[in-house]
Every structure is written in C-alpha cells, then in structure tokens.
Structure 1
C-alpha cells in the first residue's frame, strides 16, 4: 500500500469513527435484535412447520415472513372479499382480476432485505438463503391461491374464470419475485408485479375487447409458463451463493 493509500484509509477510518454515535453499542443492539426474534416460544403453527420442515430455524423464518403475518393476511382477505362482493353485484370477475396482483405483492414481501426483521438472522442459519426464500414463496403462493379460489367459488364465477387465473398468477408472482431479488427491494417487486399484470389486462382488452381474456384465453397458458420459467431462472441466479463461500 502506498503512502497516499494509507493516508486515505486512515482518513476514512477516522470519518467512520466520528460518524458513529459514541453512546451506541452496535454489538449489544445486534444481540438485542437476535434476542427479540428468537426468544418467543414456538406456537402450534411453528411447531407444526418445524416438524414438517425438520428445521426449527427454517420454521421460525417461515412464520416471520412479512406477508404471512396476521395483518397482511387480513388485508388480503378484505381485498378479495371486496372483489367477491363486487362480482356478486355486477357479474364481472373481479376476484380473478385482483387475485394475481394481490398474490404478487405478497410474494414480493416474502423477500427479506429491508422489510424482514429476521432477514439477517436467517442469513446466518445453516439453511441456505435460497431454501428460506423457496419455503416462504411456496407458503405465500399456496395461501393466496387458496384464498383466491375460496373467493372465486363464493362469487359464483364461471369455472374457466375460477381456475384460469392460477397460471397467470404464477407468472405475475414469478415476475414480482425476480424483480425483488434482483433489486433487493420488496417495493420494486410489488411495482413490477402489479404493473406487469395491469399491462397484461390492458393487452387482453385491446386484443379481444375484454379484460378477462388474460385469464380465459387458453392460448396464453404456454407463454405464461415460459415466462414463469425465465423469471425462476433469474431468481435462482440472483440468490446463488457467491463462489468461494459456503
């Protein structure tokens, strides 16, 4: 290292020490975060998840998923419930149009940086980050699919509309997750997923003259699946373990 580099390094160290509050012990703060996350005794759902997954740490990471918390689930139920009432009142399949966007938002918020208090702790577990993300994503997707199907059945939608949105929902969720993992931002993932679904609906409206074309046109199913595969590849690449680390 040259003399100039040493001076620069010393200057940066001095600036870092100067900007760090002297009355804050970052080590104790981190210990406090870890204690707050892990001190809670496992509930019945977490114990069941631990038995199924055979990993208490992975079960804790699952139950701390932001989009699986009670408040988020209630909000999802409220949105889909409003869509059910609108469908019953107008006959338009609002549930099928809302469900993919709602699921995309939930999938984006299954990704941790910046929105999950247990993210750093989950990264320190023996389980890989990719496995944590996979388990969370499958759980969020399954919950949203079940709620969407229940809302569609309650609204009396046609069978093709009731199940037709599951494949496009998969594609939109994959887009949201890919954007969130690449940008490392849940908000970016939500924006990408919702915008992608709105564009898809508008394209169906322009091509077939109806919004439901995006969920009823069987010719779109293969493109949806191909797009899902591409987004899944992006997620796998973005969450890969850097070379030289374990």
Structure 2
C-alpha cells in the first residue's frame, strides 16, 4: 500500500501540473486570455449597448458589414452621383437610386459569407432573429437618412422626396427575404436590384414616366402589402431555435 501511495503521489504533480493544488490554473489562463484579447468598445458601441440594453447585440450591430465606414462612404458617393445627375438633368435620380442602394445594404446586413463577425453574432445571448431585425432597421434608417438628405439637397418635389420611402421599404424587404431564404447576401442583392429595375421599367412602360414607380401614390398599398409578406418570410425563415438548421 505504501508503494502504491508513493506511486500515486509521484504521478500527482504531473497530472495537476506546477502550482498550488487549490488553484485552477486553466481557469486563470482563460481569464488572462480574455483580458488580452478583449476588444474595448467605442463610443458608438457603448451608446448602442445602452440603448439596446445588450452589449452583445450592440457588438453585432456595429459590426454589420453595411454599417462600416467604408460601406457608408460608398453609399454616400452613389447618392452624391445621383444628386449631381438630378441637378444637371432635372430627373430625380436620387429617388430612383435610393431604394436600390438601401436594398444592397439590407442584403448585406445578413451575415453568412459576408460578415466577419457572423459567428460572434450567433454566440450572443439573443436570438438570431433579433440580431437580424435590429441590423436591418439600423441599415434602413441610415440609408433613409442619407437618401432624404440627398433628395432634399437636389431640390426634388416633396412628393418625390417622400414617395420613394414606401417603395424603398418594399425593395429592402424583398432583398432581406431573399438573403435569409437563400442564406446568401449576393442572392438578396440580385433579387432587390432586379425587382426594383423591373418595377421602374414597368412604370415607365405603363405611364411613360421613368419616375412613376416613386411618384404614383396608388402603388403604395401594393408596396406595403408586399413588404409585409416579405417580412413574414424573414421571420418564418429565422424561426428555428439557436443551434439548429
């Protein structure tokens, strides 16, 4: 028995490793690694965390691809080009470009294959559905604000300035629904751009005006009904519990 105890005692330090027996070094090093690799949130992330009452949701929001600085600058450049074209030709190109630009941004609010922080957003203590909807609303709001600023600066009529917000809602909902169903942001972009192009061209053929898709208020109920159907598809596609397909 003594030899057995000696053998066990001789093996015990090798199994536990160096250090006091009452200290869990594995847990200590995990804590050290967490502090080393911890990313300190910026002012925007802290504000989002305060408003949303969820640091994880705030991190997922500020890491949305279409809310990053480079993406926002690209959006502003496209709308600026539309503003200049509107001023030079008189055609409200801002109203025609804004829904398409917003649709692209909304599609890239969905993560697989495009979002470097997709795995992180899936690990936060909120549902995938909540992450997606908060991101989509934020992207929609930012693009709507940029579009309104460009449209007002172009001196377009009030009906045109406000009229494109309704079709923009429908096009964005279409892009988001296609992205979530196909699990591909690129598919969402294609669906949104194709749908808006068909709508604009159909309005031109039917009425003879390129801007009919954004000036005809009779189309607003159809836009809103279509948007509601697409949102229902998005919610249905994200109904599965976390961790399941």
Give the TM-score, by structure 1 length: 0.83
Aligned residues: 211
Distance 1:170 1:122 in 2: 25
Distance 1:157 1:56, change over 3 A: same
Q: Which residue of 1 aligns with 2:202?
A: 203
* TM-score, scaled relative to structure 2: 0.83
Does residue 96 of structure 2 align to residue 97 of structure 1? Answer: yes
Tell me by how many angstroms 1:124 deviates: 1.7
Matched residues in 1 for 2:243 and 2:61: separation? 28
- Superposed, 1:114-129 pairs within 5 Å as 114-129=113-128
Distance 2:51 2:243 in 1: 32
1:126 Cα deviation after fit: 1.3
Residues of 2 paired with 1:119 and 1:185: CA distance? 13
Partner of 2:18: none
Provide the residue aligned with 1:68 in structure 2.
Answer: 67
Q: Which has the larger radius of gyration?
A: 2
Structure 1 stretches of 5 or more lacking a match? 1-30
Query: 2:112 is paired with a residue of what secondary structure?
Result: coil
Give the unaligned 5+ runs of structure 2.
Answer: 1-29
CA separation in 2, counterparts of 1:223 and 1:59?
Answer: 34
Q: Alpha-carbon deviation of 1:211? A: 1.2
CA contact (8 A) 2:128 2:238 kept: yes
User: Does the Cα contact within 8 Å between 2:127 and 2:242 map onto a contact in 1?
Assistant: no
Q: How many Å separate the matches in 1 of 2:225 and 2:77? A: 32
Distance 1:131 1:194, change over 3 A: same
Residue 171 of structure 1 aligns with which residue?
Answer: 170
Map 1:1-246 to 2 at 5 A: 39-242=38-241
Distance 2:213 2:63 in 1: 33
